A and B are shown apart, each in its own frame.
Chain A
Amino acid sequence: MPPPVPARDPGLQPERTRLAWRRTTLSCTVAAVLAAKQALHQGSSPLALVAVTLSGLVWLGFLAVAHRRIQTLSGGARPRVLGVRAALAAAGCTVALACFAVATLF
């Protein structure tokens, strides 16, 4: 007879993964705030406003990915595996912020 599936993982793996997503969201917030500060530093031209909006959108995108994943991880004791699309989106937000930094360097 197979052992019964426990209602919660004794190693708290989903919780730890959820907290890892929260930490990553915080890091993304810091990077996005620095990006917005950089854009405003250049003055309040229309270009700077576009830049601030873009960094805000990137941050919102990351927030959405993290939120969906956190919802999945809170769902039960055996959450689904992270999808490739979510992983690509998270990495894409990071790359977008970096490209944005390069654009404002010059």
Chain B
Amino acid sequence: MITIVQTLRLWFAPQRIGEEGETPDYRFSLANERTFLAWIRTSLALVGGGFAVDQFLPDLRWGVRVALALALLAAGVLCALRAVNHWVRCERAMRRGEDLPVSRFPTLLSLAVAVVAVVMVVVVVFGWAG
């Protein structure tokens, strides 16, 4: 709980990052920024996938379609929030000269995407066969 509050304070009081440690090489900050943008693109793609499931698979049963769309959209939202969080934490670690934070989020996200993909394949194959 305390860590959540601290993280939120870090998000909304950016000058606090600048007070800590030393400014890292600007190239590292730019690399961190590009990683952040790559995650935002992933997030946008997931959100776009959510829209696409709803629009381009109208033959699916309502429940399946909404569940798939919701799973993709939820993954998109989590991905965007986590992108900001990871970017702030990396920036802080670089200023402090610590190791970069590790995360199990990529694994969880790829597992979630794999599950959605398998469900889609099953639904499309058996839905259209039956």
| CB atoms of B40 and A24 under 8 A apart | yes
| CB atoms of B87 and A87 under 8 A apart | yes
| CB atoms of B55 and A31 under 8 A apart | no
| CB atoms of A101 and B51 under 8 A apart | yes
| CB atoms of B44 and A21 under 8 A apart | no
- C-alpha gap A85/B87 in the complex (Å): 12
- C-alpha gap A91/B12 in the complex (Å): 14
A interface residues, tally (CB under 8 Å): 40
| CB atoms of B43 and A94 under 8 A apart | yes
> B45 to chain A: which residues have CB within 8 Å?
27
- C-alpha gap A30/B73 in the complex (Å): 15
- C-alpha gap A106/B65 in the complex (Å): 11
Closest to A38 in B: B51
Point out the residue from B29, B38, B41 that lies within 8 Å of A82, measured CB to CB: B29
Q: Residue among A28, A87, A90 with the most chain B CB within 10 A?
A: A87
> A17 to chain B: which residues have CB within 8 Å?
30, 33-34, 37
| CB atoms of B77 and A98 under 8 A apart | yes
- C-alpha gap A73/B11 in the complex (Å): 22
Stretch at the interface among B78-86, B105-113, B120-128: B78-86
Q: Tell whether A50 is near chain B: CB-to-CB under 8 Å.
A: no
Seen from chain B, the residues whose Cβ lies within 8 Å of a Cβ on chain A are 11-12, 14, 17, 23, 26-27, 29-31, 33-34, 36-38, 40-41, 43-45, 47-48, 50-52, 54-55, 66, 69-70, 73-74, 76-77, 80-81, 83-84, 87-88, 91
13 A-B residue contacts at CB 8 Å? A13-B27, A14-B30, A20-B33, A30-B48, A41-B55, A79-B30, A81-B26, A91-B43, A91-B80, A98-B50, A98-B80, A101-B69, A105-B70
